């Protein structure tokens, strides 16, 4: 196998949850370009179908509420039956309710936990059942820099992203030889971060926090994700790949005199 072939996904079947927009859309399109047969799952079927059309021949789409574990299991099993296999599963959806802890309601808490943790667990479990039976496959869940570093108003979101890390590590231990990893983005230009982008001061503050002094595009998160599901990452499992422009590598931006 040539070095370039290690990164290809020819002959693979990939399920992307949250493929209708943002990082999920970029992952689905990237997987298709690398040769995978992609199924675009999203609560918004219209958006999912639009992405599948762009992905080209062989791509398909379906509406799926990934908060419903039984529905996720049925959708993934149906895909396996249609395609004959399931090699890749990526779960991207998340929400954030930015409030101080003392202002959080039980409804806020349940909503963020339900979307961010439950959906990742549902995809992990559904894909894991199929892949462990087959003895092959790769799963990637989306964590965040907030699994490690926080700011006011990020309590429950940060907790969910830390929980995803531990789900990934445990699944990697239980599912082998199926590989399970997480990608932890920094700040990315997606629908989730639209309120930040709308505020110039907030937007620039986040851009300045990373070493690269800018936001990421969805494609810049999709590429490392696709590396993790490829054979180029065949010995990578149970890990968290930070794709954050150096956000978590530095402690402030002060440059000492003479440096």
- Please, which residues bridge with residue 63 across strands? 42
pLDDT score of 1? 52
Task: With a cut of 70, say whether residue 253 has pLDDT above it.
Answer: no
pLDDT, one tens digit per residue, over 73-86 is 999 999 999 999 99
pLDDT score of 196? 86
pLDDT, one tens digit per residue, over 174-204 is 999 999 999 999 999 988 788 888 889 999 9
Instruction: Output the average pLDDT for the chain.
Output: 95
pTM of the model as a whole: 0.94
- What are φ and ψ of residue 12, in 5° steps? -90, 150
pLDDT score of 166? 98
CA dist 12 and 17 (Å) reads 16
Please state the rounded mean pLDDT for residues 122-133. 98
pLDDT score of 258? 67
pLDDT, one tens digit per residue, over 82-116 is 999 999 999 999 999 999 999 999 999 999 999 99
pLDDT-based confidence at residue 255 (cuts at 50, 70, 90) = low
pLDDT score of 197? 86
Residue ranges of domains in the chain? 4-238
Superfamily, domain 4-238: NAD(P)-binding Rossmann-like Domain (3.40.50.720)
pLDDT-based confidence at residue 227 (cuts at 50, 70, 90) = very high
Given 7, 157, 206, 235, the catalytic residue: 157
157 in active site: yes
Sign of CA dihedral 136, 140, 141, 143: positive
A 10 A CB-CB count for 90 gives 30
Task: With a cut of 80, say whether residue 259 has pLDDT above it.
Answer: no
Contact 148, 248 (CB under 8 A): yes
Reduce the DSSP state of residue 78 to 3 states and report it: helix
Task: With a cut of 90, say whether residue 228 has pLDDT above it.
Answer: yes
For 99-199, where are the alpha helices, taking DSSP H only?
A: 106-113, 119-134, 155-175, 194-197
Please state the rounded mean pLDDT for residues 43-48. 96
pLDDT score of 190? 87
> Which of 87, 89, 112 has the alpha carbon at shortest distance from 99?
112
Contact 126, 76 (CB under 8 A): yes
């Amino acid at each position: 196998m040539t070095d370039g072939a290690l990164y290809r996904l020819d002959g693979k079947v990939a399920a992307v949850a949250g493929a209708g927009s943002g990082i999920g859309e970029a992952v689905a399109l990237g997987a298709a370009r690398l040769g995978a047969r992609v199924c675009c799952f999203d609560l918004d079927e219209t958006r999912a179908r639009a992405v599948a059309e762009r992905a080209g021949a062989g791509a398909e789409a379906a509406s799926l509420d990934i908060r419903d574990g039984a529905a996720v299991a049925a959708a993934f099993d149906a895909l396996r039956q249609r395609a004959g296999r399931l090699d890749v599963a990526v779960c991207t959806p998340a929400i954030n309710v930015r409030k101080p802890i003392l202002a959080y309601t039980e409804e806020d808490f349940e909503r963020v936990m339900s979307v961010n943790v439950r959906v990742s667990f549902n995809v992990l479990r559904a894909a894991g059942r199929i892949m462990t039976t087959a003895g092959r496959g790769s799963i990637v869940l989306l964590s965040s820099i907030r699994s490690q570093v926080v700011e006011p108003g990020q309590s429950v979101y940060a907790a969910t992203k830390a929980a995803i890390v531990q789900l990934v590590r445990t699944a990697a231990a239980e599912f082998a030889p199926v590989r399970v990893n997480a990608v932890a983005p920094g700040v990315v230009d997606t629908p989730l971060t639209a309120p930040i982008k709308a505020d110039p001061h907030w937007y620039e503050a986040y851009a300045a926090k990373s070493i690269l002094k800018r936001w990421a595009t969805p494609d810049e998160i999709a590429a490392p994700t696709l590396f993790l599901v490829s054979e180029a990452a065949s010995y990578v499992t149970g890990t968290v790949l930070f794709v954050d422009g150096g956000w978590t590598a530095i402690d402030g931006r002060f440059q000492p005199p003479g440096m």
